[in-house]
């Protein structure tokens, strides 16, 4: 009951567009919880999947302009 409350408070403060990308972290935190709380062993697919997920979230946060703007500029420069 506590986590949905904090999620909704975060959406209030940051807005839904900015918070939507963080939904992708849910499987990562679920696997982390299973590893810490249930004693599940860490497998290579945990590390690879978690790394790809984190890289995607970081890319979305760092790249603010849509990629199609770069394509449009390249076409107009020709």
Question: CB–CB of 31/46 below 8 Å?
Answer: yes
Global pTM exceeds 0.75: no
Pair of tokens at residue 19? 């918070």
Per residue in 29-41, pLDDT tens?
Answer: 888 888 898 999 9
Domain extent listing, the chain: 2-77
Q: pLDDT band for 70, please (50, 70, 90 cuts).
A: low
Distance, in Å, from the CA atom of 50 to the CA atom of 25, rounded to the nearest integer, reads 8
What is the rounded radius of gyration, in angstroms, for the C-alpha atoms of the chain? 17
What pLDDT is attached to residue 29? 82
Classify residue 22 by its DSSP letter. Answer: G
């Amino acid at each position: 009951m506590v986590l949905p409350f904090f999620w909704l408070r975060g959406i209030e403060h940051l807005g839904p567009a900015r918070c939507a990308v963080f939904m992708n972290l849910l499987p990562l935190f679920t696997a982390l919880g299973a590893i810490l709380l249930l004693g599940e062993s860490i497998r290579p697919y945990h590390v690879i999947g978690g790394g790809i997920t984190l890289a995607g979230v970081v890319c979305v946060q760092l790249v603010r302009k849509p990629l199609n703007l770069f394509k449009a500029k390249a076409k107009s420069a020709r």
